[in-house]
């Protein structure tokens, strides 16, 4: 008996990522993280543990922060997936991206995409979070560089900018 690789057949589905429909074929056991990074070339989403413990891979699915390393990609068919690549509008950065850059919320920067996506979910739902609330919302995003102070300050600043932008729009 020869040795054979146990490779299951691929599934072919359409994923809606950052507002765009993308057709993709992948082995059905692949996580959303793997499909984003390896099959769709969206390497902005990072992986720090692949066990759902560090938050580096957080993306938004239907507006809620989700750990893409614990989510099967086939479960995401028909759902709105948002990644860090979808946040900026061309060269125009999202207020969270501006704030993280300006205030040092990003040092080595590896946890940054997951932290920004988690913060976006928070601000989309709670435009005026207290700093304690920000800390609680970000407690699933591990960072070894910043001590979190500049991350919390970045989210606070972005919240102010988002509110200002909303007022201007109104």
Partner 1 sequence: MLMTNLNVVGKRVLRQDAYEKVVGGKGFPVNFSLPGMLHGKMLRSPYPHARILRIDTSRAEQLPGVKAVMTPKDVPQIPFNPIFFMPAGSMGIHRDMLILSDTVRFAGQPVAAVAATTVAIAEQALQLIDVEYEELLAVFDPEEAMKEGAPEIHVGVKNNIRDTPSFSAGDVEAGFKDADYIFEGTYETQRVHTCYMEPRVCVSDTDSNGHITIYSSIGHLFGLRERMAYVLGLPVSKVTAVQAPYVGGSFGSKIDFAYIEALSALLSAKTRKPVRFEHTRYEDFICNARHPMKVHLKTGIKKDGTFTARYASTLCDTSAYSTHGPEVILVHAYFGLMLGYRSPHMKWEGTVVFTNNMPGGAFRGYGAPQAAFAVESQIDEICDKLGFDPIEFRLKNTPRQGDPHPFNPEWKLNSYALDECLNKGAERMGWSQRAKTGSASGAKKRGIGMAAHPLWVSGCVGFPDIYEHSGAIIRLNVDGTAYLSSATMDIGSGQNTTLCQIAAEELGLAFDSVRMAPGNTDNLPFDAPTHASRVTYSSGNAVKVAAADAKKNLLEVAATVMEANVADLEVRDGMITVKGSPAQAMSVADVVKRAESPFMVIGAQGPAPTTLKEKGTIMGISSVAPPANASPAVAEFVEVEVDTETGQVKVLRAVYAHDLGRVVNPAAAEGQVEGGLQQGIGFALMEKMLFDPETGACLTSDFLDYKMPTAVEMPSKIECIFIESNEPTGPFGAKSLAEACLIVPAPAIANAIYNAIGVRIRSLPITPEKILAALGKL
Minimum CB separation of residue 162 from partner 1 in Å reads 15
CB-based contact 117:97 (threshold 8 Å): no
Alpha-carbon torsion 13, 17, 20, 26, what sign? negative
Q: Which of residues 63-82 bind partner 1 (CB under 8 A)?
A: none
31 binds partner 1, rule: CB under 8 A: no
Closer by beta carbon to partner 1, 15 or else 114: 114
Closer by beta carbon to partner 1, 29 or else 78: 29
Q: How far is CA 160 from CA 35, 99, 152, 165, 170, in A?
A: 34, 10, 13, 9, 15
Beta strands in the chain (DSSP E): 11-17, 20-26, 58-61, 64-67, 80-82
58 binds partner 1, rule: CB under 8 A: no
> Of the ranges 10-18, 52-60, 121-129, 162-170, which one interacts with partner 1 (CB under 8 A)?
52-60
5 binds partner 1, rule: CB under 8 A: yes
Please count the helices (runs of H) and the strands (runs of E) in the chain: 5, 5
Using the rule CB under 8 A, which residue among 24, 74, 80, 102 binds partner 1? 102
Per-position x/- string for 111-150, each x denoting binding to partner 1 as judged by CB under 8 A, each - no binding = xxx--x--------------x--xxx-xxxxxxxxxxxxx
3 binds partner 1, rule: CB under 8 A: yes
Q: Which two tokens stand for residue 28?
A: 């059905």
Minimum CB separation of residue 90 from partner 1 in Å reads 11
- Using alpha carbons only, give the angle 154, 59, 110 rounded to the nearest 5 degrees: 55
């Amino acid at each position: 008996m020869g040795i054979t690789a146990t490779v299951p057949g691929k599934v072919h589905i359409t994923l809606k990522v950052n507002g765009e429909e993308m057709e993709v074929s992948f082995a059905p056991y692949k996580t959303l993280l793997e499909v984003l990074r390896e099959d769709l070339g969206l390497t902005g989403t990072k992986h720090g543990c692949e066990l759902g413990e560090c938050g580096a891979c957080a993306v938004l699915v239907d507006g809620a922060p989700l750990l893409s390393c614990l989510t099967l990609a086939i479960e995401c068919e028909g759902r709105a997936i948002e990644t860090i690549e979808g946040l900026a509008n061309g060269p125009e950065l999202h207020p969270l991206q501006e704030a993280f850059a300006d205030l040092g919320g990003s040092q080595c920067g590896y946890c940054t995409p997951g932290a920004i996506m988690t913060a976006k979910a928070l601000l989309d739902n709670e435009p005026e979070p207290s700093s304690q609330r920000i800390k609680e919302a970000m407690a699933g995003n591990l960072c070894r560089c910043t001590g979190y102070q500049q991350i919390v300050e970045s989210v606070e600043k972005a919240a102010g900018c988002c509110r200002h932008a909303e007022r201007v729009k109104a």
